[in-house]
Amino acid sequence: MPLNLPDKLPAIELLKQENIFVIDNSRATQQDIRPLKIVVLNLMPLKITTETDLIRLLSNTPLQLEISFMKVKSHTSKNTPVEHMKAFYRDFEVMRDEKFDGMIITGAPVEHMDFEEVAYWDEISEIFRWARTHVTSTLYICWAAQAGLYCHYGIPKYKLEKKMFGIFKHRVSNPLLPIFRGFDDEFYVPHSRHTEVRREDILKVKGLDLISESDESGVYMVLARGGREIFVTGHSEYSPLTLDTEYKRDLGKGLPIELPVNYYRDDDPEKGPLVQWRAHANLFFQNWLNYYVYQETPFDINEIK
């Protein structure tokens, strides 16, 4: 089933070049099927890149999706054209009365700061609480996962001695969970972060299930409220060249950055990346949409509680 996206969203043309089928609003409204309403709170600086990465993965479901983009009013993006933000994003305050089947909250480049020091912390904390009564299932990614765990459950974050940067092997604790249907025993995920949450803190909290981790990169996925909240510390949505771009950016700035682990062929940047996470990423997003959004959402979206 195609995706129903806002007209003229830049991701549409980019993804058509990858042979991904999308549908415009006028055609979608002629179909007698209620699309799943998915809202993305995009906190990443390069918003068009993040939009494209997420839509690439969401497009592989047979379900029809209607994608909306939310922003916080208390922060102005400096890396995305104002025209783009006005055309495709709405402030939380004008969306607060709406309900959604699924929500994705991205990472943000503020992990060096304490949560309360983040300029939009009050507003995003309100959004986290709002999601519990207005969204069937919310997917928290990277910094958002740490922030959500802290806001809802008091889980602290810790600074790492060096950046967790590269592609790391993970395992699952319970392969029978729907989120892992079709997964191999081991799978790979990109990570790019300077902080972490720790398993001993997760295990102390009733209602939190640590369902996937890595010997190298630690906690990966935490499930709460039966899947109404899923916290993911890695970046399954990353495109093949994202880590390459980050590595060369930091090198150019003279920042202390090591070669991303298990990423380049023969650890040689000139040979490019060896993609090992794409299949898992597609399956993960499909399972989330099918088993935690579609199967759980009420027929009437206004009945979400």
- Which residues form the catalytic set? 142, 235, 237
Rounded CA separation 14/24 (Å): 15
Rounded CA separation 170/155 (Å): 21
CA-based torsion, 253, 257, 258, 261: positive or negative? negative
Q: Which helix (H) or strand (E) holds 245?
A: helix 242-252
Count of Cβ atoms closer than 10 Å to residue 238 Cβ: 23
Rounded CA separation 37/46 (Å): 23
Rounded CA separation 44/163 (Å): 18
Question: For residue 161, how far is the Cα from the chain centroid?
Answer: 25
Task: Decide if 211 contacts 203 (C-beta within 8 A).
Answer: no
Structure tokens at 215: 């010997």
Rounded CA separation 250/269 (Å): 14
